[in-house]
Chain A
C-alpha cells in the first residue's frame, strides 16, 4: 500500500524524530509513504480573516500536488493538518473562493483531496498495527495531549468530540499502554505565544503537565511539534517559576508507536527529548 505524505517544514528541522519514527513505523506495517515532490510550507497557522485569500494559495498548491499522488494525503503535524484541512473545507464548501484562487494559479484544484492524520489512519487500520506489535507498552501511564488543532473547529476538523475525544486514548490502548484521563488534554499549551510572550506558554504548559501528573500520568504524548516544544523545552523555565513542579517526559505519538513496534533504541530518536524519558521507560522494562 502506498500513501502520499506531506511532512511540512518542522519535520525536517526541529521535529526530525517525528518524521523519522513515522517513516519507520509505516515501513514496518507495510505502508510506503510517497513524499510529495517539491512541497512547500503550508503557511502554518490558518488565517482567520475572511478576506485573506493569499494564505489559501500555499494549501491549494499542496493539495493539488497531493491529488496527483492519490486520493488521501497523510499529514502528521497538527498545524499543517489543521491548516490544510481548514483550507480544504473552504475549497469544498465555497465554490466562489475556490474559483477565485484557481483563476490566478496554474494549478487547478477541485476540492476533493482528503487530508488525514496518522491517528485516523491507525484507527481505521488497527489490525495492521496489532499484527506487528513486538513490545506492548504494559504499565506505561500516558496522558494523551490533544491540544487545539486536531480537534477545533470541530465542524471542520471532524476529528473527534472536541471536548471529550478518545481517538488518542484508543491509540495508546492499542499499543498496550494505559491512557490517563485529565481535564486539560484539550487545552492550549500556549502555541505561538511562546515567541513573544513566553510567560503565557510557560504558564499554560505548566498547568497541562501538572494536571496530567495529578491524574497519574508518567508521560505525555503529542502529535504537534509546537506543543512538543512548549511542553518539553519549556520545562526548564517552568521549574524556575514554579518550584513545586516535577519534570515529565514528553513523547511524539510516533515514538511510542515505534517503541511498541520494536524499533531499536537509536531509531526511537529519544536524544532530542530534553526531559529524558529513560527513567520512565526503564521502570516498565521498555528500554
Chain B
C-alpha cells in the first residue's frame, strides 16, 4: 500500500538526476508499452516502471525485471507524447543496481562456445548494460 511514509523522495530524485528526465511529466498513456518489442517479457513494462518511480516505490522498482529486458531500442523515446526519454529512466534503474554491485549477468556463466560465437559488440554491449 502506498502511504506518505513509504514514498522514497530521495530515490525519485536520484533517478531524475541520473536519467535527466522529468518523470512527473508522464501521464500514463501507455504508448511506450504499446510499442515496446519486449514488453511481453517484462513483469512491469515501461509505463509501469515509470509509474512506480512517480510513486517513489523504491523496493518495487528495484525488484522489477523491466529494465533488464530493455534493449535501449528507443522506440518508446520516439513515440512518447510527453517527451519522456524512457530508456534513460531504464538505464538509471540499471545503474543504481550496478553501482550497488548487483548485476544480472554473470560473465563466467555464459556458455563458452556461445560466447565465442557471439559478435564482440554484442558481448561488450551486454557487459556494459548488465554488469559492472
Interface set of A (CB-CB < 8 Å, partner B): 8-10, 13-15, 41, 43-52, 55, 77, 79, 148, 152-154, 162-163, 186-188, 190-197, 199-200, 203-204, 207, 225-226, 228-229, 233
Interface residues of B in 12-58 (CB under 8 A from A): 17-20, 37-38, 40-41
A10 touches B121 (CB 8 A): yes
Q: A9-B121, A187-B37 are in contact. List 15 more A-B contacts (CB 8 A).
A: A14-B120, A45-B124, A49-B91, A51-B18, A77-B121, A188-B71, A192-B126, A194-B118, A195-B118, A195-B122, A195-B126, A195-B130, A226-B121, A226-B122, A233-B117
Q: A191-B72, A192-B129, A193-B38 are in contact. Are A41 and B124 (CB under 8 A)?
A: yes
Q: Could you tell me the distance between the alpha carbons of A126 and B78 in the complex, rounded to whole angstroms?
A: 30
**Is B6 part of the binding interface, using a Cβ–Cβ cutoff of 8 Å?**
no
Q: Is the CB of A226 within 8 A of B19?
A: no
Question: Chain B contacts of A187 at CB under 8 A?
Answer: 37, 73, 75
Q: Nearest Cβ distance between residue B11 and chain A, in whole angstroms?
A: 16
Is B5 in contact with chain A by the CB < 8 A criterion? no
> What is the CB-to-nearest-CB distance from B85 to chain A, in angstroms, rounded to a whole number?
8
A195–B87 Cα distance when bound, in Å, is: 19
Question: Do A13 and B119 contact each other (CB < 8 Å), given the known contacts A153-B78, A200-B38?
Answer: yes
Contacts of A229 in B (CB 8 A): 118-119, 122
Asked whether B126 lies within 8 Å of A51 as measured between CB atoms, the reply is: no
A153-B121 in contact given A45-B129, A50-B20, A204-B38 (Cβ < 8 Å): no
B73 touches A148 (CB 8 A): yes
Inside 8 A of A196's CB, which chain B residues have their CB? 104-105, 110, 126, 130
Determine the distance from Cα of A13 to Cα of B87 in the docked complex, in whole angstroms.
29
Query: Given the complex of chains A and B, what is the CA–CA distance between A195 and B118 in angstroms?
Result: 8
Chain B's nearest CB lies how many Å from the CB of A43?
Answer: 7
Query: Quick one: closest A residue to B41, CB to CB?
Result: A200
CB distance from B128 to the nearest CB of A (A): 6
A195–B91 CB distance below 8 A: no
- Chain A residues touching B, majority SS: loop
For chain B, the count of residues having a C-beta within 8 Å of the partner chain is 40
Beta-carbon contact of A45 and B72 below 8 Å: yes
Please pick, from A44, A49, A199, A207, the residue contacting B18 in the complex, using a CB distance under 8 A: A49
Which positions 63-106 of chain B face chain A at CB distance < 8 Å?
68-69, 71-75, 77-78, 85, 87-88, 90-92, 95, 104-105
| CB <8 Å contact, A226 and B91 | no
Residues on B facing A (Cβ under 8 Å): 17-20, 37-38, 40-41, 68-69, 71-75, 77-78, 85, 87-88, 90-92, 95, 104-105, 110, 117-126, 128-130
**Do A152 and B74 touch across chains, with their CB atoms under 8 A apart?**
yes
Chain B residues whose C-beta falls within 8 Å of the C-beta of A50 in the assembled complex: 17-20, 88
Q: Which of A8, A44, A148 contacts B75 (CB 8 A)?
A: A148
Residues of B with C-beta under 8 A to A77: 121
A-B contact pairs, 24 of them (CB 8 A): A9-B120, A9-B121, A9-B124, A14-B118, A14-B119, A44-B124, A44-B128, A45-B72, A45-B124, A48-B92, A49-B18, A79-B121, A148-B74, A152-B73, A152-B75, A162-B78, A186-B75, A188-B37, A188-B73, A191-B122, A192-B125, A195-B123, A196-B104, A200-B71
Given contacts A45-B128, A152-B78, A193-B69, contact A52 B121 (CB under 8 A): no
Distance of A122 from chain B, by nearest CB (Å):
23
Shortest Cβ distance from B71 into A: residue: A191
B109 to chain A, nearest CB (A): 9
C-alpha gap A207/B40 in the complex (Å): 13
Chain A residue nearest to B73 in the complex (CB): A188
The 3 A-B pairs at the shortest CB distance, nearest first, are namely A188-B73, A48-B91, A195-B126
Q: How far is the CB of B33 from chain A (nearest CB, A)?
A: 15
Q: How far is the CB of B17 from chain A (nearest CB, A)?
A: 7
Q: Is the CB of A48 within 8 A of B110?
A: no
List, in ascending order, chain B residues with CB within 8 A of A10's CB: 119-121
